[in-house]
């Protein structure tokens, strides 16, 4: 994370964390869940006219004879037993942060006090202070732990307030590392109607937002934004990404969306905003499906050409579907190419990353590997949508694809739970529902969240176990959404009405349905604390962070979590200790509710400990640090390998004197492709190995010099390299890319093979070969090489031209790699090294680099020639110590060359003919002549 101190992070998200609200002064409380209505500014915009768009007022779901009540009304009207005095402010809404109550006195709340509280609470309604053009929230929940209020200390006709539409999970994650990520800039929209804002007002907001809130507003015409957000994002992208391809008559909008033009225009406005403030060294972090075109737009920038090599990361906060779903989009190629403009594309789970790789491979016909996408050329985007050309070329460019589970800021949540109003509402809830069990849920009211499925399962539970009627309630908190989404939720109001009509009594209402406007975050934390179970029945979702909050709030009770197996959270082993349900299985979900409510304390504690370990490990801080660090590393690797001309050719005039005057020298020489050019035809690969005489003669010449220690680095198996060892016994050999090493013979000692994989489980080889045999049958001319500790698949042995057969072979190779990685990679700890015509499968943490690290280790043979063992440690190389004065490495292994550059006494030479960060470059055809110059020197 320390490296981020040297970079400014530009965070691009559709909505800024802070917005400008028209009015002369801020409201008395900044609580984003409940604000007091008290200013006339709420009914007018900056131009003196009514706002262009308004939220629909909050409504209770379900039209029962007696309307459903908010938690406030429900609690205050049914309080029976006196409880201890709450904080001095009886109304917990009035102080959202930095509560400073006077010491609680003795006694209880009097009836008059309750009446006063009733009057105070009656003033709180849904917030009309944001004249907004939006009809629903963004896909992510609002900010979780706001700790500051905003006031208008200037004479401007607006004030700043938390933006209820912003990506709350992202904001909290960024805030959690604010002490270490000190230089950042948010880029996004205000989330309100801005057409009436004049130029001077926009300039004022720009200036104050940058100075006070490190934010840059993006100004978008209301009609353009509405079409982009409400039509394309939420009626096309959102359903597609969550496996909900609509039926007729909505299919025309889904498959032929004219709103994509506005979507592209919004992305272009973001690109122009970032171009205006980007400087060398900035990290651009683009977030979520609203901005899928932005990475490529920045990469193709003609206004700021330096953005071609900028550090750009894209993170998808929601799910990503299989290729069979995504391919239904008419603009699928534009979206995928847009994402591939980034150095790193991040997802919440391994399955979402796998779906993305497979979708890119099948739709764009590029090579998708387990760690990312090999992009040779990004085609020119369609100018019809206003996306410029000038695509970034560069054969060999690689786009990393990573997995970064988002978490919560555990420390901030614990602080909020210690606030007095949370304790007060916990007491009130326990008193109100004494003797009852509470099942809590919190979801958006759209079909994908599965609220109807949850209600039907709860209804079946009450029917199947009637003894729980009157003893269990479902308290469902619903996030703000659109009228159409509420209707699409599948008749939620009808189900609520049916359940309450069937099971309600004078003192019992089985379903209490609340809107977030009716529940403060303090009340929500109190609900999580007293809940006997938390129920999530999403039909498809990313990381359900509300489940993390529930687990943390249960640190004193340890009650179980019921979680849909279609959420991203369930894919992690820590969350496998929940009660998993298939939301489509109503009977199974009902049974899970019964299991949760009857679970023993011992079992509940055991499950909670596993859940809690994940929550406190995969935190918001871990998410931000790992993503940005990986993004910087990916860009460094990509940038380094784009300019071969910047690497000087090997200068023997400079190096030969150093070589001659070194008392002890270590030579690390690649075999294949450097000292020896093998025949890569099918006949040549299948022919028996014969050691090349010229290479053997050179090795013997080097090893004959007492000041030289020579190591041959190869990917060949031991049985082939034994022939080289027999003809050049004084040479150390690394076989199978680091799996085995042979100590050079010196003074009659050495000459033994040492296994670097002796403690590893190699049973994966049989399964791997079985998979590859299947793909061999489908790929003409391919064959499998099974070695001692690794497996190679030669998928192409024909001409090197890019013919149709070779393209097919590469596609099969990408499929095979993904299949091996998904089925065996994590279980056995494997990695895959792709090549142009083959790929290698071997254990993790085994490479030529790790073998050389062991060789140069203080306890290794380079420092102790008589050593008969190899330290099995992936530690920084330390060849600079002792009497080794010159380390000379020649080859094409970029990881090894980068590692050796850490040594002051090392000279690295690349023979790959590609971009490299080696100190020197050398054409592979000149290696023999150049090496003989060194070998003939004393």
| pLDDT tens digits along 511-523 | 998 887 778 889 9
> Rounded to an integer, what distance in angstroms lies between the CA atom of residue 585 and that of residue 457?
8
Q: Report whether 367 contacts 814 (CB < 8 A).
A: yes
Share of the chain above pLDDT 70, in %: 77
The set of residues, in sequence order, having a beta carbon less than 8 Å from that of 205 and lying 6+ positions away, is 20, 158, 190, 197, 217
- pLDDT in the model for residue 366: 76
Query: What is the mean pLDDT of the segment spanning 152-174?
Result: 83
> Rounded to an integer, what distance in angstroms lies between the CA atom of residue 619 and that of residue 169?
11
- pLDDT in the model for residue 105: 39
318-362 pLDDT per residue, tens: 999 998 899 888 899 999 999 999 999 999 998 999 999 989 988
Q: Compare 112 and 352 and report the one with higher pLDDT.
A: 352
> Rounded to an integer, what distance in angstroms lies between the CA atom of residue 135 and that of residue 444?
13
791-839 pLDDT per residue, tens: 999 999 888 777 888 888 988 888 898 889 888 987 898 888 888 889 9
- pLDDT in the model for residue 54: 34
> Rounded to an integer, what distance in angstroms lies between the CA atom of residue 912 and that of residue 891?
7
pLDDT at 123 over 80: no
- pLDDT in the model for residue 795: 93
Q: Report whether 570 contacts 348 (CB < 8 A).
A: no
pLDDT at 627 over 80: yes
- CA separation, residue 43 to residues 49, 127, 198, 336, 529 (Å): 8, 11, 19, 42, 38
Query: What is the mean pLDDT of the segment spanning 861-889?
Result: 54
Q: Compare 224 and 149 and report the one with higher pLDDT.
A: 224
Locus of tokens 């299948």: 686
Rounded to an integer, what is the distance from CA 909 to the centroid of its chain? Answer: 36
pTM of model > 0.85: no
Largest CA distance in the chain: 103
Query: What is the mean pLDDT of the segment spanning 235-240?
Result: 89
- pLDDT in the model for residue 22: 86
Locus of tokens 């550090």: 311
pLDDT at 767 over 80: yes
Residue of 824, 509, 884, 816 lying closest to 668 (CA atoms): 884
DSSP H/E element including 535: strand 533-536
Query: Strand 579-581 and strand 665-670: pairing?
Result: unpaired
Residue of 46, 26, 47, 28 lying closest to 36 (CA atoms): 28
E strands present in 719-836: 732-735, 740-742, 753-755, 783-786, 791-794, 830-834
The per-residue pLDDT of the chain, averaged, comes to 80
- pLDDT in the model for residue 112: 39
- pLDDT in the model for residue 804: 85
Q: Tokens for 930?
A: 């150049």
Whole-angstrom Cα Rg for the chain: 32
> Rounded to an integer, what distance in angstroms lies between the CA atom of residue 28 and that of residue 150?
10
Query: What is the mean pLDDT of the segment spanning 139-158?
Result: 50
Locus of tokens 């003033």: 123
User: In this structure, which long-range contacts are made by residues 673-676, counting pairs with CB atoms below 8 Å and at least 24 apart in sequence?
Assistant: 673/891, 673/892, 673/911, 673/912, 673/924, 674/890, 674/891, 674/892, 674/911, 674/924, 674/927, 675/699, 675/712, 675/927, 675/928, 675/931
Strand, helix or coil for residue 143: coil
Query: What is the mean pLDDT of the segment spanning 381-392?
Result: 41
- pLDDT in the model for residue 245: 72
- CA separation, residue 6 to residues 178, 285, 575, 625, 632 (Å): 14, 15, 36, 14, 11
Q: Report whether 136 contacts 485 (CB < 8 A).
A: yes
Identity of the highest mean pLDDT range in 353-362, 539-548, 577-586? 577-586
> Rounded to an integer, what distance in angstroms lies between the CA atom of residue 441 and that of residue 234?
23
pLDDT at 591 over 90: yes
Q: Compare 245 and 163 and report the one with higher pLDDT.
A: 163
Q: Tokens for 198?
A: 């004049």
> Rounded to an integer, what distance in angstroms lies between the CA atom of residue 478 and that of residue 446?
10
Q: What are phi and psi of 901, to 5 degrees?
A: -65, -15
Q: Compare 128 and 726 and report the one with higher pLDDT.
A: 726
Q: Report whether 376 contacts 397 (CB < 8 A).
A: yes
Angle at 887 between CA 885 and CA 892, to 5 degrees: 170
pLDDT-derived band at 471 (thresholds 50, 70, 90) equals very high
The set of residues, in sequence order, having a beta carbon less than 8 Å from that of 855 and lying 6+ positions away, is 666, 711, 732, 734, 741, 861, 862, 870
Q: At what angle do helices 693-704 and 718-727 cross, to 10 degrees?
A: 60
Other Cβ atoms less than 10 A from the Cβ of 48: the count is 8
Residue of 615, 411, 425 lying closest to 33 (CA atoms): 425
Least reliable range by pLDDT among 292-301, 484-493, 788-797, 803-812? 484-493
Angle at 239 between CA 235 and CA 240, to 5 degrees: 110
Query: What is the mean pLDDT of the segment spanning 172-185?
Result: 91
737-754 pLDDT per residue, tens: 999 999 888 776 767 899
Rounded to an integer, what is the distance from CA 256 to the centroid of its chain? Answer: 30
- pLDDT in the model for residue 421: 92
- pLDDT in the model for residue 180: 85
pLDDT at 210 over 90: yes
Query: What is the mean pLDDT of the segment spanning 855-861?
Result: 71
Q: Compare 758 and 39 and report the one with higher pLDDT.
A: 758
Other Cβ atoms less than 10 A from the Cβ of 795: the count is 27
pLDDT at 877 over 80: no
What residues are paired with 311 via a beta bridge? Answer: 283
pLDDT-derived band at 673 (thresholds 50, 70, 90) equals confident
- pLDDT in the model for residue 64: 38
pLDDT-derived band at 609 (thresholds 50, 70, 90) equals very high
246-293 pLDDT per residue, tens: 654 555 555 556 789 999 999 999 999 999 999 999 999 999 999 999
Q: At what angle do helices 764-778 and 804-820 cross, to 10 degrees?
A: 160
The arrangement of strands across the sheet holding 708-713 comes to: 753-755, 740-742, 732-735, 708-713, 665-670, 886-891, 906-910, 920-921
- pLDDT in the model for residue 125: 35
Residue of 759, 693, 723, 350 lying closest to 543 (CA atoms): 350
Angle at 240 between CA 341 and CA 483, to 5 degrees: 120
pLDDT-derived band at 393 (thresholds 50, 70, 90) equals very low
For the chain, the first-to-last Cα distance in angstroms comes to: 47
Least reliable range by pLDDT among 50-59, 217-226, 484-493? 50-59
DSSP character for 688?
P
Q: Compare 391 and 855 and report the one with higher pLDDT.
A: 855
DSSP character for 622?
H
Query: Strand 158-162 and strand 18-22: pairing?
Result: antiparallel
- pLDDT in the model for residue 154: 55
> Rounded to an integer, what distance in angstroms lies between the CA atom of residue 359 and that of residue 372?
12
Rounded to an integer, what is the distance from CA 565 to the centroid of its chain? Answer: 19
774-783 pLDDT per residue, tens: 999 999 999 9
Alpha-helix runs per DSSP H in 178-259: 199-213, 222-226, 238-241, 251-255
> Rounded to an integer, what distance in angstroms lies between the CA atom of residue 261 and that of residue 752?
67
Q: Tokens for 349?
A: 């789970």
Q: Report whether 461 contacts 424 (CB < 8 A).
A: no
Locus of tokens 């529902």: 433
- Phi/psi region, residue 352 (left: phi>0; alpha: psi -120 to 50; beta: rest), is alpha
The set of residues, in sequence order, having a beta carbon less than 8 Å from that of 328 and lying 6+ positions away, is 240, 245, 254, 255
Query: What is the mean pLDDT of the segment spanning 10-16?
Result: 96
> Rounded to an integer, what distance in angstroms lies between the CA atom of residue 156 and that of residue 152?
8
pLDDT at 8 over 90: yes
The set of residues, in sequence order, having a beta carbon less than 8 Å from that of 722 and lying 6+ positions away, is none
């Amino acid at each position: 994370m320390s490296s981020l101190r040297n970079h400014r992070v530009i965070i691009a998200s559709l909505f800024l964390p802070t917005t400008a609200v028209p009015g002369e002064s801020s409201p008395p409380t900044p609580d984003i869940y409940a604000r007091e209505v008290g200013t006339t500014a709420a009914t007018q915009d900056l131009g003196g006219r009514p706002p262009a768009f308004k939220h629909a007022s909050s409504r209770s779901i379900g039209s029962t004879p007696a309307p459903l009540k908010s938690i406030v009304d429900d609690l205050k009207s049914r309080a029976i037993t006196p409880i201890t005095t709450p904080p001095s402010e009886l109304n917990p809404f009035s102080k959202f942060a930095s509560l400073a109550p006077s010491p609680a006195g003795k006694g209880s709340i009097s009836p008059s006090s309750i009446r006063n509280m009733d009057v105070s609470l009656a003033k709180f309604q849904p917030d009309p202070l944001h004249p907004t053009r939006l009809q629903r929230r963004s896909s992510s929940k609002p900010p979780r732990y706001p700790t500051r209020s905003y006031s208008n200390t200037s004479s401007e006709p607006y004030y700043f307030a938390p933006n209820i539409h912003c990506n709350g999970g992202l904001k909290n994650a960024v805030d959690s590392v604010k002490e270490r990520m000190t230089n950042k800039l948010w880029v996004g929209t205000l989330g309100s109607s801005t057409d009436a804002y004049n130029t001077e007002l926009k300039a004022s907001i720009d200036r104050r937002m940058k100075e006070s809130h490190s934010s840059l507003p993006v100004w978008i015409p209301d009609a353009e934004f509405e079409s982009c957000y409400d039509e394309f994002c939420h009626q096309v992208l959102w359903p597609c990404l969550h496996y909900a391809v609509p039926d007729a008559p909505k299919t025309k909008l889904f498959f032929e969306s004219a709103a994509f033009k506005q979507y592209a225009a919004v992305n272009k406005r973001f690109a122009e905003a970032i171009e205006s403030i980007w400087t060398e060294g900035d990290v651009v972090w683009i977030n979520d499906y609203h901005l899928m075109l932005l990475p490529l737009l920045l990469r193709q920038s003609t206004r700021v050409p330096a953005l071609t090599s900028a550090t750009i990361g894209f993170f998808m906060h929601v799910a990503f579907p299989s290729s069979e779903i995504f391919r239904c989009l008419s603009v699928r190629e534009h979206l995928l190419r847009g994402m591939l403009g980034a150095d790193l594309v991040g997802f919440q789970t391994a399955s979402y990353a796998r779906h993305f790789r497979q979708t890119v491979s099948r739709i764009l016909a590029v090579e998708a590997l387990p760690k990312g996408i090999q992009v040779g050329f990004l085609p020119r985007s369609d100018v019809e949508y206003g996306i410029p050309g000038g695509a970034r070329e560069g054969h060999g460019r690689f786009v990393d694809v990573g997995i970064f589970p988002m978490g919560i800021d555990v420390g901030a949540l614990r602080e909020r739970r210690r606030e007095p109003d949370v304790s007060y509402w916990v007491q009130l809830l326990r008193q109100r529902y004494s003797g009852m069990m509470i099942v809590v849920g919190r979801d958006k009211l759209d079909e994908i969240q599965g609220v109807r499925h949850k209600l039907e399962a709860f209804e079946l539970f009450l029917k199947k176990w009637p003894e729980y009627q009157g003893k269990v309630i479902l308290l469902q908190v619903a996030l703000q959404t659109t009228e159409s989404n509420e209707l699409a939720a599948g008749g939620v109001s009808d189900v609520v009405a049916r359940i309450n009509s069937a099971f309600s009594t004078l003192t019992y209402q089985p379903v209490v349905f609340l809107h977030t406007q009716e529940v403060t975050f303090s009340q929500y934390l109190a609900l999580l604390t007293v809940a006997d179970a938390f129920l999530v029945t999403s039909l498809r979702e990313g990381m359900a962070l509300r489940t993390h909050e529930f687990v943390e709030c249960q640190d004193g009770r340890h009650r179980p979590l019921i979680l849909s197996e279609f959420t991203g959270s369930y894919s992690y082993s820590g969350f496998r200790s929940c009660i998993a349900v298939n939301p489509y299985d109503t009977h199974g979900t009902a049974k899970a509710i019964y299991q949760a409510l009857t679970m023993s304390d011992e079992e509940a504690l055991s499950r909670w400990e596993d859940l809690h370990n994940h929550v406190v490990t995969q935190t918001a801080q871990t998410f931000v640090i790992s993503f940005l660090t990986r993004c910087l590393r990916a860009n460094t690797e990509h940038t380094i390998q784009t300019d071969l001309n910047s690497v000087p050719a090997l200068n023997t005039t400079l190096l030969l004197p150093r070589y001659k005057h070194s008392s002890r020298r270590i030579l690390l020489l690649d075999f294949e492709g450097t000292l020896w050019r093998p025949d890569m035809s099918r006949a040549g690969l299948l022919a028996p190995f014969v050691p090349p005489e010229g290479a053997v003669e050179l090795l013997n010449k080097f090893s004959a010099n007492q000041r030289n220690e020579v190591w041959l680095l190869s990917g060949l198996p031991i049985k082939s390299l034994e022939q080289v060892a027999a003809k050049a016994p004084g040479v150390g050999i690394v076989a199978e890319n680091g799996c085995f090493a042979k100590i050079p013979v010196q003074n009659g000692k050495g000459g033994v093979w040492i296994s670097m994989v002796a403690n590893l489980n190699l049973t994966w080889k049989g399964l791997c070969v079985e998979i590859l045999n299947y793909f061999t049958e489908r790929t003409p001319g391919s064959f499998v090489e099974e070695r001692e500790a690794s497996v190679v698949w030669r998928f192409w042995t024909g001409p090197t031209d890019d013919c149709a057969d070779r393209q097919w072979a590469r596609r099969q190779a990408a499929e095979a790699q993904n299949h091996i990685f998904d089925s065996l990679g994590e279980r056995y700890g494997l990695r895959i090294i792709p090549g142009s015509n083959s790929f290698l499968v071997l254990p993790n943490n085994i490479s030529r680099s790790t073998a050389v690290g062991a060789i140069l280790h203080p306890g290794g043979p380079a420092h102790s020639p008589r050593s008969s063992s190899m330290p099995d440690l992936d530690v920084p190389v330390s060849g600079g110590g002792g009497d080794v004065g010159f380390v000379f490495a020649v080859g094409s292994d970029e990881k090894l060359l980068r590692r050796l550059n850490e040594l002051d006494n090392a000279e690295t030479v690349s023979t790959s003919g590609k971009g490299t960060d080696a100190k020197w470059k050398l054409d592979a055809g000149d290696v023999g002549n150049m090496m003989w110059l060194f070998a003939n020197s004393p």
